[in-house]
Amino acid sequence: MIDIHTHIMPAVDDGSPAEDISLKHLGIMAAAGVTDVVLTPHFIRAGYRPPHTDRLAKQAALQKGCQAAGLSLTLHPGAEVYLDSKSLQEINEHKLNINQTSYVLVETAMSTFPSDLYEILYQLVKAGYRPILAHPERYQTVISDPELARDFMHRNVYLQINAGSLLGHYGKRSQQAAWYLLEHGYAHFLASDNHCHRDDYPLAKGCELITRRIDDHLPRILTEINPRKMLNNEPIPYFYLEQTSGGSENFFQRFFRRGKS
């Protein structure tokens, strides 16, 4: 599995406070079957702003720590960018994209979307970036109307669900929204958003629940196939399921028919 959203880089945001805590959590992740970890510290214009050189130095130190601890994990650079009208400039200037690709992990306000959200995203897409919206199921606006996810996909925005949402870590409403998005094909990635605050790493458990409730191929799409494409800067389809309400095919059949075409 590849975890594309983590706050494991030490002492840069509200995630891991120190390298030994980071290494402990990387150990938990490796034991759960993770092979690659994207380091995505918060980058907020009026808040956390770890400089590029610091981020690279901390990544290199952490990678060394993994080797010393016998963890076969590959770490990749990234950030979680809190969107505002200056985000495009900030991403360019501070190299906030993931692994030098066109993919960039973004977040926005939880309570209400800013009125210029679509405009900000459009500026990123127009400049050649591929935004990935972190945890759509946690935003009140999406919880109230999960079909909004489609709007984002039509605007060339990918969606990353938090595995903890499937387990109820962020409350019942986010849990329901997360399952709605998954069951409608409105998800491209599943990740942990691991802040090192709890030891029950959710990614493997989330995949297990998806296998039980939907099928065993979807977890691979969300935690291996799409993340690998992202790391290689390859395009990922926005719509990978045909929505055929009332049709005779079930989810599984539709999924594989699309996969073979």
CB of 40 to Fe ion, least distance (A): 6
Amino acid present at 108: T
Q: How far is the CB of 217 from Fe ion (least distance, A)?
A: 26
x-or-dash string of contact with Fe ion, 25-54, rule CB under 5 A: ------------------------------
3-class DSSP assignment, residue 122: helix
- Residues with Cβ within 8 Å of 250's Cβ and at least 6 positions away in sequence, in order, are none
Q: How far is the CB of 70 from Fe ion (least distance, A)?
A: 28
Q: How far is the CB of 138 from Fe ion (least distance, A)?
A: 10
Distance CA 137, CA 170 (A): 9
Whether residue 9 contacts residue 15, with contact meaning beta carbons closer than 8 Å, is answered with: yes
The residue with tokens 């065993």 is 216
3-state secondary structure of 133: strand
Among 3, 80, 90, 137, the residue binding Fe ion under the rule CB under 5 A is 80
CA 207 – CA 217 distance, rounded (Å): 10
Q: Does 90 bind Fe ion (CB under 5 A)?
A: no
- Site size with Fe ion, rule: CB under 5 A: 2
Q: Which two tokens stand for residue 94?
A: 């501070």
Structure tokens at 91: 């991403």
Site mask, Fe ion, residues 183-212, x = CB under 5 A?
A: ----------x-------------------
Yes or no: say if 16 and 8 are a contact pair by the CB < 8 Å rule.
Answer: yes
Minimum distance of Fe ion from residue 121's CB (angstroms)? 18
Stretch that binds Fe ion, among 78-86, 160-168, 215-223, 225-233 (CB under 5 A): 78-86
Tell me which residues touch Fe ion (CB under 5 A). 80, 193
